A and B are shown apart, each in its own frame.
Chain A
């Protein structure tokens, strides 16, 4: 079955760029049946949709993050990535990657999540 795994630094300094990668196993990011997405969850709060990428490279981002976020896909490595620039403490969160069904818009499966703390 498809599994997703996030990786990247757990600590990022304010004003720098947060970079995370999601590695997909048991399936292909080149499948035309899915979007590949990032979601975050600040400590003690709810889920926030960040955006998604299609295998062709097409993207869609949450409007309030559009100026700072880039989601890209690397089909050769079966990975997709998140970059969030000019981070502040408000970007501290557990970051999840997840697959989104093209025809049902359900997030499934999810990666285990990785905590990213923004602090100097």
Chain B
């Protein structure tokens, strides 16, 4: 299965809001509400930030939110902070009962 499509980079200033898109197909994002988002700081393991499109695990700031429309999911970070600078990855369940990741987006806080 092909990787989900994410922008290579996004940027924003402290306090602003940014969104990262994740585009798939009807065979993954379009047909299933199993989209997750991960934050990865350099040299660290990824951390789950959003699961099942809109749900936040315990301990994750409510500045992080997720949504989905058709074959595209989005992660929105509001009130951008310096520590939000990281790589972000989406993932989705697919019709072949597998899981697929996006290519990753580098978030720069200006």
Contacts and interface: CB of A to CB of B under 8 A. Distances in A.
Interface of A: 37, 39, 45-49, 52, 60, 62-63, 96, 100-101, 104-113
B97 A46 contact: no
A105 B45 CA distance: 17
Contact of B46 (A96, A100, A104): A96
Contact of B34 (A45, A49, A105, A110): A105
B48 interface: yes
A96 B45 CA distance: 8
A118 to B, nearest CB: 21
Interface of B: 1, 3, 34, 36, 38, 44-48, 51-52, 55, 57, 89, 91-93, 96-104
10 contacts: A46-B3, A46-B104, A47-B38, A47-B46, A47-B104, A49-B91, A63-B98, A105-B91, A106-B48, A108-B48
B101 A48 contact: yes
Nearest to A52: B99
Contact of A46 (B36, B55, B102): B102
B36 A105 contact: yes
Task: Give chain A's interface secondary structure class.
Answer: strand
Closest 4 CB pairs of A and B: A106-B51, A108-B48, A110-B45, A46-B104
Contact of A104 (B51, B100, B104): B51
A105 B98 CA distance: 10
A101 B36 CA distance: 11
Contacts of A112: 44-45
Contacts of A46: 3, 89, 101-104
A111 B47 CA distance: 10
Contacts of A111: 45
Nearest to A113: B45
Contacts of A37: 99
